[in-house]
Structure 1
Amino acid sequence: MNHHRRRFVAGFLAVPVTLYTVYVLSPCAQALVIALTDWRGVNAVPRFVGVDNFRRLLGDEVFLRAAGHNLLLLALVPPLTIGLALLFAWLLTGDGTARRTVRGAGLYRVVFFFPQVLAVVLVAVLFRQILRPDGNGMLNAPLTALGFAPVGPLADTDLALWAVLFVLVWQAVGFYVVLFSAGIASIPRELFEAAAIDGAGGGRLFLRITLPLLRDTVQAGWVYLGVAALDVFAVVWVMTAEHGGPDHSTTVMAAEVYRNAFHYSRFGYACAMGVVLFVITTGFAVLVLRLTRRERIEFR
């Protein structure tokens, strides 16, 4: 019986494992090999250079700046998005005792979730038009009509990255509002009622019951948002001036990978950047999962 079961499982997994190996593991391995060469394109003959590309990265001011931007987004996007989503979900779902909710909570959830159904490129184009620095943007048109000087966060080297941060949080928070609302609604009402009888208020109910029972969901969301913050290619490339400007003030590692590969034909160097990005992303995911690991809480 066990032999037949293993054969069934092996046969069931053969196709997906093969596809994953061909389309995921194989390109990753090829990228690592190319990162050790100076390959410059399809017709060029690659020359093995060892770790020279990685040494160059240590002195590449633009790449180091891009890595710093990614790390800043990594530090801010997950906590801001999850914090806002938890707050909105708690307000819309109630405290679990009287199930007090905002009137029209279902409509609010739809409104919150709406940005999630928009393509990332569409969101970037939308905010590029909203935040355009001249008087024709959706932000500056009313300001100009009222006699105020137009503002241009995307044209300001000190504000452009914060505009990107705002867009990332704006698009992502709605999905987690819906996700956390469903999680809160699935928690047995008896747990909240028992704690309320013992004198726990709304804040304590959230901190002692709601948040611990949502920990696994929050953990997964933190990893996903962290990976998104380390990627963030489409928003930066479409939304910002000079595809990461002005003056490289919003560039990120993924943008530099694309720029070096397809603008400068430095494919070996671009693959080295990609390998560094892969290592950072994987390390972040492993670190979060290990730091937040605990025994699973089950309730009936």
Structure 2
Amino acid sequence: MKHRTYPFILSFLALPLGLYAWLVVLPFAQAFQISLTDWSGSTNSFDYIGLANFAELFDDDRLVMPAIRHTAVILVVLPAVTIALGLFFAFMLNVGGKVTRGRVEGVPGARFHKIVFFFPQVLSVAIIAIIWRQVYAPPNFGGLLSRALETVGLPAPANGFLATKEFVLIAVISVLVWSSVGFYLVYFSSAMAAIPRDIYEAAILDGAGRVQTFFRVTLPLLFESVQTAWIYLSIVALDAFVLVYVMTPEKGGPDGHSEVVGGAIWKLAFPQGEQALASALGVVLFFVSLSIAVIALRFGRKDSIEL
């Protein structure tokens, strides 16, 4: 009977697997092939040059290396800050209320707060970039943040935050955190809801404070959820090109101070016509993403705790 079901199952899998191979696997394979050539994208002829493109990438201090450094900063800061805020807000919403007759309660209006925090998720990245571009605009262009600082007597950059080299990358990371934290608040809240309240109540009866309860009860039980969130946020950090492209001047400016790897790939491939170099950088980005996922899953393993 089992042997008869295999052809039936395969008949349903054939079309989606074929489309996946055609639309995903084949383009990846072509990118790997192009990265080993000198193809410029404007001709049909090319020669295989081995790993020369990869060597050239890491010698490019004008575009590629700054983009890698900025992406590395985002890769470190974005997951750490977003997960910390998401865990804090989720913990406060779920068990941050009063303890009534030994029972732990969440804060009043927790559902409403979750909706408010989650709202950025319904906006596209382009819309978020346009909104925050106006928030960070100079005072004479109605920049909300600059006007607010001037109102309370604090200085604001005359050209706006996005045109200031010292602030532009911080501004980009802040928007990424703002747009991501709501989703992970809801995600961690759902994970916390699966933890029996008896555990929290027993910890409180034993004299544990809220901070001790979080680090000794909540965080260990949410380890796998935090691990998954770290992987996804790392992918978001590596894929920040759209936000940078729409929000910042010069699509990565000023003077490349907000350039990311995705933007470097786009600039190499289209304005500069260096398709082979762009493919090589794309291959590097692919293996970095794969390595992060493997390392997080392999070295972040922890024995599961049964409730």
TM-score (norm 1): 0.93
CA contact (8 A) 1:135 1:144 kept: no
Q: How does 1:234-249 map to 2 (within 5 A)?
A: 234-249=242-257
Q: How does 1:103-142 map to 2 (within 5 A)?
A: 103-136=108-141, 137-142=143-148
Distance 2:123 2:201 in 1: 39
Q: Does 1:29 align with 2:34?
A: no
For residues 14-36 of structure 1, what are the alpha-carbon distances to aligned partners after superposition, in whole Å with 9 as ceiling and x for unaligned? 23222221111111000000111
Moved more, 70-79 or 9-18: 9-18
| Residues paired across the two proteins, number | 299
Distance 1:187 1:13 in 2: 37
CA contact (8 A) 2:104 2:201 kept: no
Q: How does 1:1-300 map to 2 (within 5 A)?
A: 1-61=1-61, 62-94=63-95, 98-136=103-141, 137-143=143-149, 150-151=156-157, 152-299=160-307
Q: CA RMSD in A?
A: 2.0
CA shift for structure 1 position 73: 0.6
- In structure 2, list runs of 5 or more residues that go unmatched: none
For residues 209-252 of structure 1, what are the alpha-carbon distances to aligned partners after superposition, in whole Å with 9 as ceiling and x for unaligned? 21122111111110000011011001111111111111111101
Distance 1:178 1:297 in 2: 22
Helix, strand or coil: the match of 1:135?
Answer: helix
Distance 2:293 2:197 in 1: 33
Amino acid at match of 1:141: R
Distance 2:184 2:37 in 1: 42
Amino acid at match of 2:67: A
CA shift for structure 1 position 203: 2.0
Moved more, 246-255 or 47-56: 47-56
CA shift for structure 1 position 196: 2.9
* Compared CA separation, residues 57 and 198, structure 1 to 2 (3 A): same
Identity between Structure 1 and Structure 2 (%): 42
Helix, strand or coil: the match of 2:212?
Answer: helix
* Compared CA separation, residues 134 and 263, structure 1 to 2 (3 A): farther
- In structure 1, list runs of 5 or more residues that go unmatched: none
Distance 1:248 1:91 in 2: 39
Distance 1:181 1:278 in 2: 31
* Compared CA separation, residues 100 and 190, structure 1 to 2 (3 A): closer
Distance 1:192 1:150 in 2: 45
